[in-house]
Structure 1
Amino acid sequence: MLAGLAAVGATDAQAASGLLVTCVTMGVLSILLSVAFKVPLKFAWSTPGAALLVATAGITGRFGEAVAAFIVAALLIVLVGLWPALGRLIARIPRPIANAMLAGILFPLCLAPVQAAVQIPLLAIPVIVVWLVLSKLAPRWAVPAAIVLAGVLLAATVDSGWLTGANLLPNLAFVAPEFDPLVVVSIALPLFVVTMAGQNIPGAAILTSFGYRAPVRAALVGSGALSAVGALSGGLTINLAALTQALTAGPEASPDRDKRWMAPVASGVTYIVLGLFAAFATAFVIASPPLLIQAVAGLALLGALIGAVTSALEVPRDRLSAIATFLVTASGITVMGIGSAFWGLVVGGIAMLWFGWRRPRSVEE
């Protein structure tokens, strides 16, 4: 995200402000809507949107023009949220396809513990061993303990120079939008498309895969409106989470489905705290080995991966369609700027329609 903001002209102070306001807005929205609907609604910043900004570096060097594009993209999301047909479309995504897409999203991250054990064994193996032992003795504490140990190991091994320049005080920087038609077309429209296709639609489908009815209208209108306001301080678009939605909607959050809404509430509080220390946290994360952070996340998501694969392959007649969805999603391909999760849904839907179609029997037959 920070790299994306810098690519479209943000200064260090504006990028830190953007991280702050984005963390706070998605935290507040996760809390409010999860409490209101008693559904585990997890929000995050647009990961494909951040990647898009990096890819479009050079379109503008004026951050105000990029901010104007962020506002336009956010307002488009609000308009889609007011369109009831979208909610009906998402609700009709078949459960095997939704679960296979989720499995494809999770699979690359769940490989991270294996990769980390080989590439950074002194850091990764102790974390994996703690997770493994507690998964048997105290399953609820396995992931939190792994996270704490990873943090301790990072703090002990990362060069102390990471604190240089870190500022513990929250700081918002107002950015006046500057509307440029070319920048709006070049950034706003692609940002809107990849956020919807790569985050909002898969995020709602993941909720469906866990048996929840996603309040799509409230999620889109709320995230679009807060994104438009947050953009004035450099914030990136926020949306329904895809990957981390599986953490808060799955059985690891709570054995009781009716209590899992508390998980994104806790996550929202954490995001707000993280936002208040955005510069400090950013300096620490940048100095840390990304693979170890991914490995801990992969351990946390193994249960969700098992559940998704099991549910996706439960019905024999849908297995081929589900596998097609899984393979396309796990491939990580990007076509026309849209990520593999969306194309996994498309391919799986086409396969399900094709294999589910039966040629009418003739009289002779």
Structure 2
Amino acid sequence: MSRASSVLRDVSVSAVVAGFLSALINFAGPFLIVLEATRAAGLNEAQTASWVWAVSIGNGVCSIALSLFTRIPVIVAWSTPGAALLIASLGGFSFAEAVGAFLVASVAAAVVGYTGWFGWILARVPGPVLQALLAGILLPFVVTAAGAFTSAPLIAGSIVVAFFLGKRFFDRYAVLAGLVAGIAVTWATGSFREVAPSLELGGPVFTMPAFTPAALVSIALPLFIVTMASQNAPGLALLHSQGYEPNDRLVVGAISTVSAVLAPFGCHGINLGAITAAIALGPESHPDRAKRYIAGLSGGLTYLLVGSFGGVLVAGFQAIPTETVSVLAAVALLGSALTALEGAMGGDARTGIAALTTLAVTMSGVVFFGVGAAFWGLVAGSAVYLLLAPRRPRTRTGESGKENAVIT
């Protein structure tokens, strides 16, 4: 059977919807931070459109290529923490200097990825800690969505009712039912926001990179750290937590290479997705883990479509109310959150305490040195796990009285 026919055989509505939702949530929410970063850089309309084109095309190409090659649902996203960092750090630098910093940060990430250092460290993190990290990332989105019942009860209620009726009668299409109900009620109540397309249909605009020590220290270094620690680390951890064994060298290295190639066109950084990836990785995407890679293809195609049509489709996504997006994300993440909680608390007392520490720190939202809570939750949980490791008792053997370790 050819690869094409094999892919067509694996296509399912649930996986296609999961991939589409992963992209929709990115454009309806975190994308606003990217637009704010372009304003902080003082870009004109053409340069802004090029930035949108670069991150969207990069996400799409990497998601499709890596999902097809690895048969793993690889969801690529722009670096939202990186964009937030740029809002504060771009002042005083020319766009050419910023592009040079983007390029250096992506090349550094590619080197770390291809050498395998990143994956080697992550592979030594206990499984329950990884599951707790996933739970800590997802639960706040599930919990805070309840606030939508106050501001938009009809929209929130329709999504939740349709989703759970779907779970009862047609499980694989429950998320699709919630999506259809949510969009229909949003339209019926006139709740779509008026957002005029702010970007022209434009292609890439090349900017020659400029390299200055100040920009490398102020932009490239923190951007590299934040992208690797707050995005790629949780992204790889999520893949492992769902039972996948990704080739970290290939995945991180390839994504970072594409990011470097697109840097002169405005791409500040693309990386493995975390929150949005969980939608494609979970059971709501497909009961069969081996067929969830279709969600990666669907998400990638959505990114390519938006990248090709620029601000017209971006404005369409941004017209969707926050309540609709947040509740859709919550119901789509329920299955992944449940699986993560079960995995986090399924070990012994030692791993349980380490997992609970990871969960607490990750959910706290704490930020140190510009690095988000997901990374610090991973560090804290791993540290507790190592601290509680049982000591190896020693016993005296032989006439010399030398101590030999006894491993129990």
| Band of TM-score, shorter chain | over 0.9
Letter in 2 for 1:37: T
Letter in 2 for 1:284: G
* CA RMSD between the two structures: 2.0
Q: 1:297 aligns with which of 322, 326, 329?
A: 329
Match for residue 45 of structure 1? Answer: 78
Query: What pairs with 1:139-150 in structure 2 (closer than 5 Å)?
Result: 139-150=171-182
* Secondary structure class of the residue paired with 2:391: coil
2:163 corresponds to 1:122: no
Mapped partners of 2:132, 2:48: distance in 1: 36
Which piece of structure 1 moves more, 191-200 or 158-167? 158-167
Mapped partners of 1:310, 1:57: distance in 2: 43
Does the Cα contact within 8 Å between 1:321 and 1:349 map onto a contact in 2?
Answer: yes
Mapped partners of 2:292, 2:318: distance in 1: 31
Q: 2:388 aligns with which of 331, 355, 359?
A: 355
Match for residue 48 of structure 2? Answer: 15
* Secondary structure class of the residue paired with 2:207: coil
Match for residue 92 of structure 1? Answer: 124
Extract unaligned runs of 5+ from structure 1.
none
User: CA 1:164 to 1:191, structure 2 compared with 1: closer, same or farther past 3 Å?
Assistant: closer
Letter in 1 for 2:136: G
Shift of 1:147: 2.1
Mapped partners of 1:327, 1:16: distance in 2: 39
Does the Cα contact within 8 Å between 1:67 and 1:175 map onto a contact in 2?
Answer: yes
* Secondary structure class of the residue paired with 2:283: coil
* Secondary structure class of the residue paired with 2:73: coil
2:195 corresponds to 1:162: yes
Mapped partners of 2:146, 2:268: distance in 1: 32
Which piece of structure 1 moves more, 188-197 or 236-245? 236-245
Does the Cα contact within 8 Å between 1:113 and 1:295 map onto a contact in 2?
Answer: yes
Which piece of structure 1 moves more, 29-38 or 82-91? 82-91
User: CA 1:87 to 1:329, structure 2 compared with 1: closer, same or farther past 3 Å?
Assistant: same
Shift of 1:359: 6.5
Shift of 1:4: 1.8
Shift of 1:352: 0.6
Does the Cα contact within 8 Å between 2:175 and 2:284 map onto a contact in 1?
Answer: no
* Secondary structure class of the residue paired with 1:239: strand
Does the Cα contact within 8 Å between 2:199 and 2:310 map onto a contact in 1?
Answer: no
TM-score, normalization by structure 2: 0.83
User: CA 1:59 to 1:301, structure 2 compared with 1: closer, same or farther past 3 Å?
Assistant: farther
User: CA 1:13 to 1:53, structure 2 compared with 1: closer, same or farther past 3 Å?
Assistant: same
Residue-by-residue CA offset, 1:168-212 (whole Å, 9 max, x unaligned): x34322223222221121011101000000111111111111111
* Secondary structure class of the residue paired with 1:172: coil
Letter in 1 for 2:358: T
* Secondary structure class of the residue paired with 1:146: helix
Does the Cα contact within 8 Å between 2:306 and 2:314 map onto a contact in 1?
Answer: no
* Secondary structure class of the residue paired with 1:176: coil
Query: What pairs with 1:216-295 in structure 2 (closer than 5 Å)?
Result: 216-295=248-327
* Secondary structure class of the residue paired with 2:72: coil
Does the Cα contact within 8 Å between 1:43 and 1:240 map onto a contact in 2?
Answer: yes
Mapped partners of 1:41, 1:114: distance in 2: 29
2:175 corresponds to 1:134: no
Alignment length (residue pairs)? 361
Does the Cα contact within 8 Å between 2:193 and 2:321 map onto a contact in 1?
Answer: no
* Secondary structure class of the residue paired with 2:271: strand
Query: What pairs with 1:42-81 in structure 2 (closer than 5 Å)?
Result: 42-60=75-93, 62-81=94-113
* Secondary structure class of the residue paired with 1:124: helix
Does the Cα contact within 8 Å between 1:49 and 1:194 map onto a contact in 2?
Answer: yes
User: CA 1:161 to 1:240, structure 2 compared with 1: closer, same or farther past 3 Å?
Assistant: closer
Letter in 2 for 1:301: L
User: CA 1:164 to 1:32, structure 2 compared with 1: closer, same or farther past 3 Å?
Assistant: closer
Match for residue 377 of structure 2? Answer: 344
Which piece of structure 1 moves more, 145-154 or 47-56? 145-154
Letter in 2 for 1:86: F
Which piece of structure 1 moves more, 236-245 or 141-150? 141-150
Mapped partners of 1:83, 1:144: distance in 2: 41
Letter in 1 for 2:124: R
User: CA 1:309 to 1:159, structure 2 compared with 1: closer, same or farther past 3 Å?
Assistant: closer
Match for residue 33 of structure 1? Answer: 66
Does the Cα contact within 8 Å between 2:78 and 2:269 map onto a contact in 1?
Answer: yes
Shift of 1:288: 3.7
Q: Percent identity?
A: 39
